[in-house]
Amino acid sequence: MAVMLRTEEGDYVLRRKGGLAFDDEALEALVGKRLRCRGTLTGYTFLMTEYEEIPGNP
Amino acid sequence: MTDKVIVTNFSALKAKYGRGLTAIRAAIRRLIAADRKRGIQTRLVAIDSKSAMKRLGAPRVSDAADPEQNKKAIDGVYRKLLPDYLTLLGAVDVIPHQDLINPVYDGSDDPDADPDPCAYGDLPYACEGPYSRQPQDFLGATRVVGRLPDVTGASDPDYLVGLLRTAAGWRERDEADYLPYLAFSAQIWQRSTQQSLRKAFGSAADLELVPPNDSRWTAAQLKRLSHFINCHGAEADFHFYGEERRTGRQPTSHVSTWIDGKIVEGTIVAAECCYGSELYDPAKSDHEGICSTYLAGGAYAVIGATTIAYGEASRNTDADLMCQYFFRRVLTGASVGRAFLEARQEFAQSAPELDPMDLKTLAQFTLLGDPSIQPVAVPAPSAIRQPKGRAAVASAARVERRGRREALAFKGETIASTQAAAVRQPAARPSGRVRSDLMKLARAAKIMRPKMLSFTVTRPQAFAMRRSARAGASVRARTTFHVVLGARRTRVKTPVPPVVAIVAKVVNGRVVSTREVHRH
Digit-coded pLDDT (tens) for B379-393: 777 666 777 788 888
Instruction: Tell me, yes or no, if A16 comes closer than 8 A to chain B by beta carbon.
Output: no
Q: Which amino acid is at B6?
A: I
Task: Provide the pLDDT for residue A1.
Answer: 42
For chain B, percent of residues with pLDDT exceeding 90: 80
Would you call B241 and A47 a contact, using CB atoms and an 8 Å cutoff?
Answer: no
Give B495 to chain A, closest Cα distance, Å: 5
Question: CA B480, CA B476: separation in Å to the nearest integer?
Answer: 12
Give A30 to chain B, closest Cα distance, Å: 11
Instruction: Tell me, yes or no, if A52 comes closer than 8 A to chain B by beta carbon.
Output: no
Among B13-17, B22-26, B398-402, B461-465, name the one with the lowest average pLDDT: B461-465
Would you call A23 and B494 a contact, using CB atoms and an 8 Å cutoff?
Answer: yes
CA-based max dimension of chain B: 72
Count of CA atoms in the C-beta half-sphere (13 A) of B168:
17
Among A50-54, B413-417, B461-465, name the one with the lowest average pLDDT: B461-465
3-state secondary structure of B400: helix
For B169-377, the fitting CATH number among 3.90.1150.10, 3.40.630.30, 3.40.50.970, 3.40.50.1460 is 3.40.50.1460
Q: Which amino acid is at B395?
A: S
Handedness of CA B220, B309, B318, B445 (dihedral sign): positive
Give A44 to chain B, closest Cα distance, Å: 7
Give A2 to chain B, closest Cα distance, Å: 4
Q: Which residues of A touch B494 (CB under 8 A)?
A: 22-23
Contacts of B470 (CB under 8 A, 6+ apart): none
What residue ranges do the domains of chain B occupy? 169-377, 421-519
3-state secondary structure of B492: coil
Sheet of strand B239-241: strand arrangement: B232-233, B239-241, B252-255
Given a cut of 60, is residue B475 above it in pLDDT? no
Chain B residues contacting A via beta carbons under 8 Å: 109, 111-112, 115-116, 232, 234-237, 239, 241, 249-252, 280, 283-287, 448, 487, 493-497
Question: CA B84, CA B363: separation in Å to the nearest integer?
Answer: 21
Question: CA B325, CA B30: separation in Å to the nearest integer?
Answer: 32
Instruction: Nearest by CB to A28, from B232, B280, B495: name it.
Output: B495
Neighbours of B401 (CB within 10 A): 19
Question: CA B489, CA B494: separation in Å to the nearest integer?
Answer: 10
Given a cut of 60, is residue B474 above it in pLDDT? no
Question: CA B5, CA B79: separation in Å to the nearest integer?
Answer: 11
Residue ranges in A1-58 assigned as alpha helix (H): 25-28
Minimal CA–CA distance to B258: which of B216, B296, B224? B216
From the centroid of its chain, how far is CA B205?
A: 26
Residues in chain B: 520
For B221-229, what is the mean pLDDT? 98
What are the backbone dihedrals phi and psi of residue A34, each rounded to the nearest 5 degrees, phi first? -90, 135
Would you call A3 and B495 a contact, using CB atoms and an 8 Å cutoff?
Answer: yes
- The C-alpha angle B238, B163, B26, rounded to 5 degrees, equals 145
Residue of A nearest to B115 (CA): A44
Give A15 to chain B, closest Cα distance, Å: 9
Q: Which residues pair with B6 in a beta bridge?
A: B44, B87
Answer yes or no: are the C-beta atoms of B2 and B81 closer than 8 Å: yes
Instruction: Nearest by CB to B495, from A2, A12, A40: name it.
Output: A2
Strands A45-54 and A34-42: antiparallel
- The C-alpha angle B256, B259, B260, rounded to 5 degrees, equals 80
Handedness of CA B308, B96, B368, B157 (dihedral sign): negative
Question: CA A20, CA B185: separation in Å to the nearest integer?
Answer: 18
Q: Which residues of A touch B239 (CB under 8 A)?
A: 20-22
What b-and-e string marks burial along B48-60, b requiring 16 or more CB atoms within 10 Å of the CB?
bbeebbeebebeb
Task: Select the more confidently predicted residue: B396 or B51.
Answer: B51
Instruction: Tell me, yes or no, if A29 comes closer than 8 A to chain B by beta carbon.
Output: no
Give A51 to chain B, closest Cα distance, Å: 16
ipTM of the modeled complex: 0.86
Residues A1-46 pLDDT 10s: 467 888 888 888 899 998 999 878 888 888 888 888 999 998 889 9
Task: Provide the pLDDT for residue B318.
Answer: 93
Task: Provide the pLDDT for residue B499.
Answer: 85
Task: Provide the pLDDT for residue B476.
Answer: 64
- The C-alpha angle B495, B294, B321, rounded to 5 degrees, equals 70
Given a cut of 80, is residue A58 above it in pLDDT? no
Q: Which amino acid is at B343?
A: A
pTM for the model? 0.94
Would you call A1 and B497 a contact, using CB atoms and an 8 Å cutoff?
Answer: yes
Q: Which residues of A touch B497 (CB under 8 A)?
A: 1-2
8-state DSSP, B377: P
Residue of A nearest to B114 (CA): A44
Mapped to the 3 state alphabet, what secondary structure does B181-194 carry?
EEEEEEHHHHHHHH
Task: Select the more confidently predicted residue: B208 or A44.
Answer: B208
